Structure 1
Amino acid sequence: MDKLPQGFLKNPVNFLAFGLGSGCAPKAPGTFGTAMAVLLYLPLQYLPLWLYLGFIVVTFILGVWLCDEASKSLGVHDHGGIVWDEFVGYWITMIAAPTGWGWIVIGFVLFRIFDIWKPWPIKTADKVINGGFGIMVDDVLAGVYALICLQLLNAFL
């Protein structure tokens, strides 16, 4: 990963956009960001569904702004270290997920597969939508794909 400007993470916006620092991993920052999202999910999983969904809406809206600001401050669209989008994408994957570590891990793997693979329309959205919304939307779509797969696995296992 490119070297960040001196004091970059001291700015709370950048610190959040970089996933509390998890996006600074030298290799696979998206995977490290998703791992941090798992840790943050552990207490979130106990929220009532309506509150959990509200949390996702708020973190998505916040993420559009955070990712846009961090991207502008670096002068790079969707810098690999910006992983707030992975947080929200993983949390979408885990909407109404069954409880237990097995499901948490399956959700992690499914989300990473769709986030890396980027099947249609994820890849198209990633290429044509700019700004903070563009940074967020491909991970939201990956999260929706992973959510559908997770729920199908739950229904048929």
Structure 2
Amino acid sequence: MSINAWLQEFRALHKRARQKQLSDEEKQLYLMAREQFARALTAAQGMTLRPGEMARQTFRVAQAMQIELSLNTGIVRAMTLDISKGGFSVVLTKAPGEKELVGYTLRMPDGMDPVIGRARVMASKKQIGNYRLSFAFEGMSEYDQDRLEMILFDAALSRIPA
């Protein structure tokens, strides 16, 4: 099967998964295809998976999403630069404390309920006039992980011509 045919089939499965219209057998096929697609994205991003690590938990998508961070110094609104199932990065004018645990509210598209939780500062890189910060989600529910993962696949697929 050509890559274009595979992508077309995957898009159709993804659309039906979004609408919760997959049979149990189709759901298993979809999960395998999703992992295969995520592996291709991870490889294209030059990332290496650790043994036993699932690609769909690792791949990142450059996606601007509104996020509100509750820092020790107050509430800050920002846009994500990129996002994955494991975390996100943003640019802020001031860096929170190293390994600071912050509250967040991640706005979801199409009026979906936001994802609310906690994230830990994992990296801070000083740039001219600001900081690029990477955060790791902590204790995100499986329900919210599934919703976020669906958005990530939507975003990745939207960048590939049909």
TM-score normalised per structure 1: 0.28
- Larger helix proportion, structure 1 or 2? 1
TM-score normalised per structure 2: 0.27
Larger relative contact order, structure 1 or 2 (CA cutoff 8 Å, min sep 6): 1
